[in-house]
A and B are shown apart, each in its own frame.
Chain A
Amino acid sequence: METLASLAAGFAVALTVQNLLLALLGCFLGTVMGALPGLGPSNGVAILIPLAFTLGLPATPALILLTSVYYGAMYGGRISSILLNIPGDEPAMMTTLDGFPMAQKGQVGEALAISGIASFVGAFFATWGLVFLAPQLVRVALLFGPAEYFALFVLAFAMLGGIASRSQSKAALAAALGLLISTVGVDGQTGVPRFTFGEVHFYDGIDFLVAIVGLFALSEVLIFLEKHGDDTAAAARPPKHGRVTPPLWMLARTAGSMTRSTLLGFVAGVLPGAGASLGSFLAYSFEKRVKDKDGTFGKGDARGVAAPEAGNNAAAGGALVPMLALGVPGSGTTAVLLAMLLALNITPGPLLFQNNPDVVWGLIAALFIGNVMLLLMNIPLVGLFVRVLQIPPRYLMPAVAMVSFVGIYGISGSSFDLLVMTAFGVAGWALRKLDVPLVPIILGILLGDQMEKNLRRAMTISNGDAAALYDSWLSAGLWTLAIVGFVLPLLFGRRLRARMPSRGAAPAGRK
């Protein structure tokens, strides 16, 4: 009951004209960004953070804007999957399998409608899951001391490396590089400069927003430049769609799929390191295994559209649980949302729930509101988004690059940051070519400072005795989970990843 009272208070925060307009804007922008191939939710949110920041939005409205973008992108990804057979973002990859065949059979409207409703169902119930699960996790997190937090960060990286990436060694390298970047600058504990190479600009450390926009958005532009010749997305004319209303029998037929997929997706989202791509993959595979008796999956079965969409939207909601309750994001996009919070000087975690309940519950209420807006936007207005898809990338990508420069320049007004961002863009491009995941780098940059602080605090408390790191049952448990999470997939998780479809240079920020 206490939870529901908090939620009601959250609605009071969210239901102001300004916040509603921001949610509407965020939902619209998010759907567009999700729909455009190449611009995933991580990119979208990453570009918008510096803008929201420089525009001086207070914490709650800024968060409402950006999480609306996040949810919106999850809805938008399906549009180009269905119409063009090109996933708008990585979680929408599974939707192409049945969505495009449905479109070819002339069921464009039905496919868009079913997937829109599945997205709503997944996101709606996952948000309820967030409402009830997050406070429970907060209760556990209140028991955490510095040693437990350190172990928790290790766990997050281990899961990210173990479950979500194709190569453990590359994920570990990526995480370590991120942590290293976070140590640049004046050491917070002793006040000595580290790894600054005598460059005054580095004394403040490397701004994570600069790194994120460079690694995600700019590297995307470079990838586009590199292979614009073989990209036919712009040339393809999306097929016409008729009425976007689902026949009732189709809804009845897909209801079970949506329910199962929502559950699976939510669980996948809550696990650190898994996120929406895994959510939609698991949902689709599971549905195919239990329901594909006539072999219709892959040939335009509505359940094959409903399952991955419910799954990835539910995972998007689930991924917010560890991000808000523990301050440990499990996916690329939630890492970017964490960056937003940190930029606003808000540290997520149990204290956020106690000290700034208006932020947390206002945000959650905004998710409910945004979800309804998205459903309304995505069913009758889907034609609008289809039209946006027809903007050729040769005009769109330069605009994206320039807007990201505007945001970064706006933070500091120094062109040094632009140079650092360009360097990150080039590095991100090379690392993506090398199949090194970028999300652990971002996570390392974001969490490095906290991780080191907690390690040193734990050591100060124990007077330098390393056993303090693992001698409480809670931290010992976290360490065990971390080791199991990292090692177990080495043995048999590889098969799971190998079966997941991947594109040559997968979009940045694999969720």
Chain B
Amino acid sequence: MRHISDRILGLAGLATAAVVVWQGEQIQESFIQDPLGPRAFPYVVAAVIVIASLAIILRPSSAPQWPRGKRLLAVAAAVIVLVAYAELLPRAGFVLSTALAAAFLSWQLGARPRSAVIAGVGISVGIYVLFQLVLGLSLARGPWGF
């Protein structure tokens, strides 16, 4: 079972190709026409995916080490925080959201809670000063204007 990851990758490739064909069939024909049409190129690409996926399934080559336990949790938590960050940004403004997200990431990377909070605020305010005040980029504005 060493190569199970590669086999799953190959199956995911086949599934992707299936989605391409399924969605491709639903592309509306337009009144503008060219000999090839909008479907041909994606279908050729899907064919390449099928061949490559079959080759990967038949001749798997790598056996990656997936993270377990705490490590996996750390990656998952980071992803959740980044998604939450994207959602929070328009509501809470740049400085607060960024400070929270950066502090969390810093803590996850091994900083002590206190220094993580300081790093978060430092990164957030630093970027705000540099990009918004010095360079004039417009960052997300929260209810209190920053």
Q: How far is A323 from B123 in the complex, measured between Cα atoms in Å?
A: 35
Q: Which residues of A contact B86 (CB under 8 A)?
A: 415, 418-419, 422
Q: Which residues of A contact B116 (CB under 8 A)?
A: 394
Q: Which residues of B contact A172 (CB under 8 A)?
A: 48, 51-52, 55
Interface of B is mostly: helix
- Cβ of A167 and Cβ of B119 under 8 Å apart? no
- Cβ of A463 and Cβ of B35 under 8 Å apart? yes
Q: Which residues from 433 to 457 on chain A have a C-beta closer than 8 Å to any C-beta of chain B?
A: 433-436, 451-452, 455-456
- Cβ of B106 and Cβ of A395 under 8 Å apart? yes
- Cβ of A190 and Cβ of B37 under 8 Å apart? yes
Q: How far is A221 from B75 in the complex, measured between Cα atoms in Å?
A: 9
Number of A-B contacts (CB under 8 A): 208
- Cβ of B35 and Cβ of A464 under 8 Å apart? yes
- Cβ of B123 and Cβ of A398 under 8 Å apart? yes
Q: With CB as the reference atom, state the residue of chain B lying closest to A420.
A: B86
Q: Is A390 among interface residues, defined by CB-CB distance under 8 A?
A: no
Which of A167, A168, A398 touches B120 (beta carbons < 8 Å)?
A: A398
Q: Which residues of B contact A224 (CB under 8 A)?
A: 109
- Cβ of A173 and Cβ of B34 under 8 Å apart? no
Q: Is B20 among interface residues, defined by CB-CB distance under 8 A?
A: yes
Q: Which residues from 71 to 89 on chain B have a C-beta closer than 8 Å to any C-beta of chain A?
A: 71, 74-75, 78-79, 82-83, 85-87, 89
Q: Which residues of A contact B64 (CB under 8 A)?
A: 433-435
Interface of A is mostly: helix
Assess A189 versus B110: contact at CB under 8 Å? Given A55-B137, A195-B42, A418-B85. no
Interface residues as binary, A188-227 with B (CB distance below 8 Å gives 1, 0 otherwise): 0111111101000000000000000000001001101111
- Residue from B42, B49, B119, B139 having most chain A Cβ neighbours under 10 A: B42
> How big is chain B's contact interface, by range?
35 or more
Q: How far is A54 from B65 in the complex, measured between Cα atoms in Å?
A: 39
Which of B34, B89, B119, B120 touches A460 (beta carbons < 8 Å)?
A: B34
Q: Is A429 among interface residues, defined by CB-CB distance under 8 A?
A: yes
Q: Which residues of A contact B45 (CB under 8 A)?
A: 176, 179-180, 183
- Cβ of A415 and Cβ of B27 under 8 Å apart? no
Interface residues as binary, B104-146 with A (CB distance below 8 Å gives 1, 0 otherwise): 0110111100001001100110110001000111111000000
Assess A226 versus B75: contact at CB under 8 Å? Given A459-B34, A459-B35. yes
Q: Which residues of A contact B1 (CB under 8 A)?
A: none
Q: Is A9 among interface residues, defined by CB-CB distance under 8 A?
A: no
| Sample (8) of A-B pairs whose CB atoms are under 8 Å apart | A51-B137, A192-B38, A193-B27, A402-B101, A409-B139, A415-B86, A435-B61, A456-B35
Considering the complex of A and B, which 5 residue pairs feature the smallest CB-CB distances, nearest first? A464-B35, A418-B86, A394-B109, A169-B55, A398-B105
